[in-house]
Amino acid sequence: MVDTTIEEVAARRVLTGRGDLTVEVEVYTADGFGRAAAPAGASKGRHEVAFLPEGGIDEALAAFERLVAPELAGLDAAEQYAVDGKLEEVDGTGRFEKIGGAVAVATSMAAARAAANTLGIPLFRHLGGAAARTIPLPLGNAIGGGKHSRGLGPDLQEFLVIPLNPPDAAAAVLANLEVHRRALKYITKVDPHFTGGKNDEGAWTPRVSAETALRILKEAAAEVSKETGVEIGLGVDAAASSLWNGAKYVYQNEGKERTPREQLEYMAKLLDEFGLVYLEDPFQEDDFQSFAELTDRYRDRLIVGDDLYVTNAARIEEGGKMRATTAVLIKPDQTGTLTRAAEAVKTARRYGMKVVASHRSGDTEYDTLAHVAVALGAEVIKTGIVGGERTAKLNELIRIGEYLGKWGRMAAIRP
């Protein structure tokens, strides 16, 4: 019988796809091994756990050696709650201010991978059990703006595409890829001088308005849908907290300011005019009421909270009671452990929310998110379209689909 007892752990600094430093952790059991690294976001929600402790990456690694490593030896890697509980215990702050969320989530994921490797089963099967057989729909950033594009593109942060009726994971991934490719043709019609610049997530970064970006994607998506038979929906991540100055939403490139009420009507206009199926963070991170008002009008769409919730079960509970959103974004690094992320999903499900498992703008080459998304039963996986750290997850999603075979099924997001 295999032994999943943790015998040794190690941590080091490595790079994200954006070139920033992050933490990578290795966990060795008696009969297996797991490794994982923490992704990092450019636009972090105010209520996320601390990514690094005071003192930065050096202090994070020192805290790992001093506080984490001695306590993990002898634990059972297959008991995720025990590993994650120990991380919370040695930190003691609730927000991982002492060891850093990067250390916490990298350790949590590395332990899970070590257990799966030791047991000889896929990670999604170890985390989700036999019921984990739904393949999430890939949501990809095709045109970028906001902080992800250094303020050079549209004021809104992401213009997204999602296949709605793909027959399998491969068809879904390829449909998004083709829309991304076709979008360049339409961008150069609007701006012949566009040189093909991309942002951190591989999205095109033309200097166009939000409406122009959506018109471009609408044309490209219609063209691809007609050729492939895969219906493609449009989405927006407004990342409205990055526009909020405390009183109004400032659209610097547009030269406009919008009050909360004007922001609500503008978001409604985009939903109506472009038939958006997905809208993330249309309001700043503490405005539960505006989320609830918009959601009340569009309960048939994915109105999604990211900065609003930051994968925090208590905040999701608050949003659920107000019927603030129809979906929640899940980023394990926002909350620090896989156990906490699973608790956040459980809370969201209690209020009928759909789940979107998401990458970060500064992500890593690991494919862990694809497994976590399937394990959590997520309807959507938000993980870009192109770029090595994005395609690592997408390629793994295709492999998981093949592994599940006839037992797998594509998710659906329509009511």
Q: What does the pLDDT look like over 116-143, one tens digit per residue?
A: 999 999 999 999 999 999 999 999 999 9
Residue 321 pLDDT more than 90?
yes
The neighbouring-strand residues paired with 244 are 249
The two tokens of residue 329 are: 């974004």
Strands 33-37 and 21-29: antiparallel
pLDDT confidence band for 207 (50 / 70 / 90)? very high
With 0-12 CB in 10 A as exposed, 13-18 as middle and 19+ as buried, what is 385? Answer: buried
| Alpha carbon 343 to its chain's center | 16
The pLDDT of 74-91, averaged and rounded, is: 98
Residue 289 pLDDT more than 80?
yes
> Are residues 2 and 119 in contact, defined by beta-carbon separation less than 8 angstroms?
yes
**pLDDT, the chain, mean:** 96
- Contacts for 222-230: CB closer than 8 Å, 24+ residues apart: 223/182, 224/175, 224/178, 224/179, 224/182, 225/175, 228/171, 228/174, 228/175, 228/178, 230/163, 230/164, 230/165, 230/166, 230/171, 230/172, 230/175
Which is nearest to 170 in space by CA: 406, 408, 402?
Answer: 402
pLDDT confidence band for 46 (50 / 70 / 90)? confident
Residue 45 pLDDT more than 80?
no
CA-based end-to-end distance of the chain:
45
> From the annotation, which residues make up the binding site?
148, 157-158, 237, 280, 306, 331, 358-361, 382
Tens-place pLDDT, residues 250-263: 999 999 999 999 99
pLDDT confidence band for 153 (50 / 70 / 90)? confident
Residue 386 pLDDT more than 80?
yes
What is the DSSP code string of 351-377? TT-EEEEE--SB--S--HHHHHHHHTT
Q: Where are the beta strands (DSSP E) in 131-175?
A: 134-135, 137-144, 158-163
The pLDDT of 207-216, averaged and rounded, is: 96
The pLDDT of 76-90, averaged and rounded, is: 98
The two tokens of residue 134 are: 């739904």
Coil, strand, or helix at residue 364?
coil
Q: Which residues are catalytic?
A: 201, 331
pLDDT confidence band for 76 (50 / 70 / 90)? very high
> From the annotation, which residues make up the binding site for Mg(2+)?
237, 280, 306
Question: What confidence score (pLDDT) does residue 152 get?
Answer: 72
Question: What confidence score (pLDDT) does residue 148 get?
Answer: 63
Name all domains of the chain by residue range, CATH numbers in brackets.
6-120 (3.30.390.10), 128-410 (3.20.20.120)
H/E stretch holding 7: strand 6-15
Question: What confidence score (pLDDT) does residue 43 get?
Answer: 65
Q: Give the residue carrying structure tokens 């997520």.
A: 378
pTM of the model: 0.97
SS3 content of the chain, % helix, strand, coil (to 5): 45, 20, 35
Q: Cα(42)–Cα(385) distance, rounded to whole angstroms?
A: 18
Residue predicted with more confidence, 338 or 42? 338
Residue 150 pLDDT more than 90?
no
Residue 113 pLDDT more than 90?
yes
Residue 25 φ/ψ, nearest 5 degrees = -125, 140
The pLDDT of 170-175, averaged and rounded, is: 98
Residue 312 pLDDT more than 90?
yes
> From the annotation, which residues make up the binding site for (2R)-2-phosphoglycerate?
157, 331, 360-361, 382
Question: What confidence score (pLDDT) does residue 151 get?
Answer: 65
The pLDDT of 387-398, averaged and rounded, is: 98
- Give the type of residue at 63: A
